[in-house]
Structure 1
Amino acid sequence: MSDQERDEIVTRHGDLEIEENMGAQRRLWKIQRAGRAVAVLILALGLAGAFGGGPLSHQTASSGGCSIEYERIGYRDTSQAYRLKLSSEVARSGKVRVSLDNEALSRMQLDQIVPEPAMTRLTADGTLFEFEVEAGEGQREIRFVFQSEAAGLQTTRIDIESCPTIRLEQLFLP
């Protein structure tokens, strides 16, 4: 008996004769198992934040006494935030200057800045925001809330006075 003959067997179930092709059935079962594994993997990645809003997406970039918390993966036209955390050393003068580059600002719409800047000035490289903060111990936080107006991989350069430049890499999905 050949392999094909063994796979195609006619079985009798009561009054019915049913042709079975076990070779095709086994291939179908393998495809179904692979499909289930891919679905479980996509679900696990989604829960972990690989598509935004989870532990894999949260990122902190630090430089000197400054750090920025942000989402590596976001969605176009959805609110995002840069949370700048400044050490007391950076804020000791009572004024903090933060600059965002022109390229980044051209791809985003700034919705809110907390606290409001005391002064905003356009420069050759971007926009300079000056904040008045309380001098003293502890961290200070400045928050830029924005919406990306373009999908794709985007790099943002943030300059904070008294700290080296920080570059943020983000992926915005449509």
Structure 2
Amino acid sequence: MSLLEQEMQDRDHPVAEDIALQRKVWKFQRVGWYVLTAVVILTLLGLFSRGPLSTLESVSVQGDLTVQYERFHRAGGTNPMIVQATGQPGKEVTLSIGKPMLDGFSIESIQPQPVSSMGSPQGLSLTFPTDKSGHVTLFISWRSNGMGLFKSQISVVGGGQIPVTQFIYP
């Protein structure tokens, strides 16, 4: 019997050992380390908050609306969103934010301030003046109120729309 085979045999002296059980424990520990390493890597990549897996930029089919946002949030945390819309130069553009988004988030700040705003059962409409080239860029800060999955949309009234799906962790 080789030395390795002797080491893998059950013993009673000096301590009672069950090598088969010990091997199962070692295997379980290795799996645990792999799972822990995967969770740490996914966390660093942004699965649970900000990072490459969370950051998303969407453009409407018409090309008149672009939204940059985070897919994953923490309850009570604030997160930025950048909305860029295109309309006619010197005219106003009205953006619509769907009600499901307002159910899960509250608006902390909007820069620049809208010319007018109107709430409805479908959501919130915000009107902004465009610049000389017909563009408007909004910086919105959201505070997460709810928990779970929220599917909503942001749209330009009479133009493109972008579905926004976000998940709020407890």
In the comparison of the two structures, how many residue pairs are matched? 161
Q: Which residue pairs with 1:86 in the alignment?
A: 85
- Report the CA distance shift for 1:79/1:91 in structure 2 as closer, same or farther (over 3 A): farther
Offset at residue 33 of structure 1 (A): 0.7
Q: Deviations over 1:27-51 (max 9, x none)?
A: 1111111111111111111111111
1:40 pairs with 2:37? yes
TM-score, normalization: structure 1?
A: 0.82
User: What's the TM-score, normalizing by structure 2?
Assistant: 0.84
Tell me which amino acid in the other structure corresponds to 1:157: Q
Worse-matched range after superposition: 53-62 or 105-114: 105-114
Aligned-partner SS, 1:26: helix
Unaligned runs of 5+ in 1: 1-5, 12-16
Between structure 1 and structure 2, the one with the greater Rg is: 1
Percent identity between the two aligned chains:
23
Distance 1:152 1:20 in 2: 47
CA distance in 2, matches of 1:71, 1:36: 29
Classify the secondary structure of the residue corresponding to 1:130: strand
Maintained 8 Å contact 2:112/2:139:
yes
SS of residue in 2 equivalent to 1:84: strand
Partner of 1:14: none
Match 2:160 to one of 137, 148, 164 = 164
Root-mean-square deviation (Å): 2.0
Cα deviation for residue 69 of structure 1 reads: 0.5
Cα pair 1:94 1:133 within 8 Å, conserved: yes
Unaligned 5+ runs, structure 2: 1-7
How is 1:103-142 mapped onto 2 (pairs within 5 angstroms)? 103-123=100-120, 125-136=122-133, 140-142=136-138
Runs of 4+ in 1 over 4 A off after TM superposition: none
Cα separation, 2, equivalents of 1:9 and 1:123: 76
Structure ranking higher in strand proportion: 1
Aligned equivalents of 1:125 and 1:60: distance in 2? 24
Deviates more, 1:101-110 or 1:149-158: 101-110
